Amino acid sequence: MGLPRRAGDPAELRKSLKPLLEKRRRARINESLSQLKGLILPLLGREHPPTATARATEPAWRAWLACYPPAAFWSLR
């Protein structure tokens, strides 16, 4: 067992402020990401970022295209 801590102990203060600091840090990160999206998306010609589903299926689609190029696929018909 450790010694009893005083009310103004720095460790206790840090422990109590940690959730507030984390909330502020996340808010800053989200704000920065929003600003970055606002700068990049217009340059890409997109109004909205791709959805999670689109991001998840894109590698599979690229792999399929590598195996079956469009020209080869359409010539089989």
- Where exactly are the structural domains of the chain? 12-48
pTM: 0.48
pLDDT for the residue 49: 66
Question: ∠ CA(39), CA(43), CA(24), 5° rounding?
Answer: 20
58 Cβ contact partners less than 8 Å away, ≥ 6 residues apart: 50
18, containing H or E segment: helix 10-44
| pLDDT per residue as tens, the chain (77 positions) | 555 555 578 888 888 899 999 999 999 999 998 898 888 878 777 666 666 777 777 887 788 778 776 665 555 55
pLDDT for the residue 31: 94
The number of C-alpha atoms within 13 Å of 30 and in the hemisphere containing its C-beta is: 6
